[in-house]
């Protein structure tokens, strides 16, 4: 029997009471090398999973060009998201070629960390539309979650871990692919606590959820229950490389910004500042207001500092003016006017909107304060009666919506086909048969 002390066959680590070795038929291996081998093998399966998404990874200009087809304006937000997704693919490519391992021998290898994004802006400016459109572009699993349904662990509702479970479902159960996904959490402003001094109170759907999201966003192994048999082991998903994008309207944040940026007129006499800006200046200030958001403003709003620190990139979406809303009605690939024209075309009827009508619709949506989301409601209110009666009319060829119709000062003009005689109603037909 040999008295030689066993050593690791990979790194040469000698066995000690503190460092045991696993013995094999012809050698030994230490714990550090087992962990390293596990990470290397994991990269092999990940590389196989990512072969297709990495093959045609989109460039920032290509991503923005696709976003431009569906979203009008908001160039800053689109550029930020395009760069974030492209950098996500670059990190993915680097990790597959040079996996992040605990004992990397090459000190020149630089590890790339992710930059999560916070989108903020008024309701109806396109935050959710940007996210849903982005989901069509990226080649990795993409999930859109709602923060209002999340609750602190142990309470009725969805836990934050359910987001990762949905991401795993989006990847068809492929754990390696899910660990490179993108998650968008909407309505994140609803998690803001009611006040800065609300410590010590149980906030099931607010600060408690923020605390639960901290590790998830930063990166932690999440245990996802396996679907199917109960005796199956849960799947462990590492969120370290998942890109998180959150968005919210942050209603009331503009008041905090105005208070910080315009504390009031200072000075007297010739040194006094003007306190009565023009309407154009007010509009310009409102459009630029969210661009001046600082982490301190979000803390005053009700987000905890630890949560804010996980989102280094803050991008603002501004209110949409009349010109932008008119463009939204007509220019995108799935513009509302194109959708309603298609609905009417299924009844062999042409639907037209005058320029005055489009501007009146935009003005009405602005008056409602719902942004682009309110355009469909305005159009439904205008066309509802016509869509109710039109299927019974067989000789209508064209409908024209004017500005007077939108303002409630007139009726939709109908044009009839000359070759077709007006169809008789059921009452007229019965009278004709009786005669």
Query: Per the domain annotation, does 151 fall within a domain?
Result: yes
Give the pLDDT of residue 349: 94
What are the tokens at 131?
């996210």
Indicate whether 366 and 305 sit together in one domain: no
102 marked ligand binding residue: no
- 185 plus 154 within the same structural domain: yes
What pLDDT digit, counting tens, does each position of 122-133 carry?
888 888 889 888
Q: What is the extent of the structural domain holding 18?
A: 1-49
Same domain? For 227 and 91 the reply is yes
* pLDDT given at position 107: 60
8 annotated binding-site participant: yes
Which conformational region is residue 386 in: left (phi greater than 0), alpha (psi within -120 to 50 degrees), or beta?
alpha
pLDDT score of 274 more than 80: no
Which CATH number goes with the domain that contains 405?
1.10.8.60
Distance (Å, whole) CA 395 – CA 418: 8
333 shares a domain with 287: no
- 371 shares a domain with 311: no
Check whether 11 is labelled as a binding-site residue. yes
260 — pLDDT class (breaks 50, 70, 90): confident
CB count in 10 Å sphere of residue 304 = 19
Q: Is 367 part of a structural domain of the chain? A: yes
Asked if 1 and 123 sit in the same domain, the reply is no
pLDDT at 225 (0 to 100): 81
Is 251 a domain residue?
yes
The proportion of the chain whose per-residue pLDDT surpasses 70, expressed as a percent, equals 77
Q: Does one domain contain both 290 and 149?
A: yes
Taking CB atoms within 8 Å and a gap of at least 24, the contacts of 305-310 are 306/210, 306/211, 306/214, 307/210, 307/211, 307/213, 307/214, 307/217, 308/118, 310/116, 310/213, 310/214, 310/217, 310/218, 310/244
CATH, residue 76:
3.40.50.300
Q: Both 123 and 243 in a single domain? A: yes
Q: At what angle do helices 374-389 and 355-368 cross, to 10 degrees?
A: 120
Looking at residues 389-414, what average pLDDT do you find? 92
* 44 and 61 both lie in a single domain: no
User: At residue 3, does pLDDT exceed 80?
Assistant: no
DSSP 220-285: -EEEEPPSS-TTSPPEEEE-TT-EEEEEE--TTHHHHHHHHH------SGGGPPP----HHHHHHH
If we measure between CA atoms, which residue out of 227, 130, 232, 113 comes closest to residue 171? 227
- Residue 234, domain member (yes or no): yes
Residue 238, in any domain of the structure: yes
Q: Which helix (H) or strand (E) holds 216?
A: helix 207-218
Q: Please report whether residue 274 resides in a domain.
A: no
221 C-beta neighbours (distance < 10 Å), count: 11
**How many domains does the structure of the chain reveal?**
3
What is the mean pLDDT of the segment spanning 70-82?
90
Scanning 56-196, the segments in alpha helix (DSSP H) are: 60-70, 75-97, 127-137, 161-170, 175-178
- Regarding pTM above 0.75, the answer is no
Residue 399 annotated as binding?
no
pLDDT tens-digit profile of 304-359?
999 999 999 988 888 888 998 999 999 988 899 999 999 999 999 999 999 999 99
Q: Check whether residue 228 and residue 171 sit in a common domain.
A: yes
Output phi, psi for 123, to 5 deg. Answer: -65, 140
Question: How far apart are the two ends of the chain, measured CA to CA in Å?
Answer: 121
**Tell me, what's the pLDDT at 272?**
45
Do residues 140 and 174 both lie within one domain? yes
- Average pLDDT over every residue of 104-110: 60
Confidence check: pLDDT of 154 > 70: no
Q: What is the pLDDT of residue 287?
A: 54
Split at pLDDT 50, 70, 90, the class of 266 is very low
155, 206 contact by CB (below 8 A): no
- Mean pLDDT rounded to a whole number for the chain: 80
Query: Domain check: are 292 and 186 in the same one?
Result: yes
| Helix, strand, or coil (residue 397) | strand
- Mapped onto helix, strand or coil, the DSSP state of residue 169 is helix
């Amino acid at each position: 029997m040999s008295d030689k002390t066993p050593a690791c066959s990979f790194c040469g680590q000698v066995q000690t009471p503190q460092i045991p070795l696993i013995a094999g038929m012809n050698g030994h291996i230490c714990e550090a090398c087992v962990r390293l081998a596990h990470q290397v093998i994991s990269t092999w399966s990940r590389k196989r999973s990512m072969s297709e998404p990495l093959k045609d990874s989109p460039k920032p200009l290509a991503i923005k060009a696709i976003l431009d087809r569906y979203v009008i304006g908001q160039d800053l937000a689109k550029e930020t998201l395009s760069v974030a997704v492209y950098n996500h693919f670059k990190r993915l490519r680097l990790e597959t070629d040079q996996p992040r391992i605990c004992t990397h021998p090459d000190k020149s290898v630089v590890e790339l960390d992710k930059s999560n994004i916070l989108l903020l802006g008024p309701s109806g400016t396109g935050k959710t539309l940007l996210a849903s459109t982005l989901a069509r572009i990226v080649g990795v699993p993409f999930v859109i979650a709602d923060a209002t349904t999340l609750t602190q662990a142990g309470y009725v509702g969805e836990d934050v871990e359910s987001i990762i479970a949905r991401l795993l479902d989006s990847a068809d159960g492929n754990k390696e692919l899910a660990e490179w996904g993108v998650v968008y959490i909407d309505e994140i402003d609803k998690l803001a606590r009611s006040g800065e001094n609300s410590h010590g109170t149980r906030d099931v759907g607010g600060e408690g959820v923020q605390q639960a999201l901290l590790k998830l966003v930063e990166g932690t192994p999440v245990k996802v229950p396996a679907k199917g048999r109960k005796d199956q082991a849960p799947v462990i998903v590492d969120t370290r490389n998942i890109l998180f994008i959150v968005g919210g309207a942050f209603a009331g944040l503009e008041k905090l910004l105005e208070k910080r940026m315009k504390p009031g007129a200072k000075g007297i006499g010739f040194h006094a500042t003007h306190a009565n800006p023009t309407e154009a200046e007010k509009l310009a200030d409102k459009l630029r207001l969210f661009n001046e958001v600082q982490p301190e403003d979000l803390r005053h709003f009700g987000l905890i500092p630890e949560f804010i620190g996980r989102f280094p990139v803050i991008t603002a979406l501004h209110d949409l003016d009349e010109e932008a809303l008119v463009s939204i009605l007509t220019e995108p690939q799935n513009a509302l006017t194109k959708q309603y024209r298609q609905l009417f075309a299924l009844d062999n009827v042409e639907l037209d909107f005058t320029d005055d009508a489009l501007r009146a619709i935009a003005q009405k949506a602005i008056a409602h304060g719902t942004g682009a989301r309110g355009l469909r409601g305005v159009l439904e209110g205008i066309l509802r009666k016509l869509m109710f009666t039109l299927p019974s009319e067989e000789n209508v060829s064209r409908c024209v919506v004017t500005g007077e119709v939108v303002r409630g000062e007139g009726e939709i003009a109908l044009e009839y086909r000359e070759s077709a005689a007006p169809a008789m109603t059921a009452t007229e037909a019965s009278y004709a048969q009786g005669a």
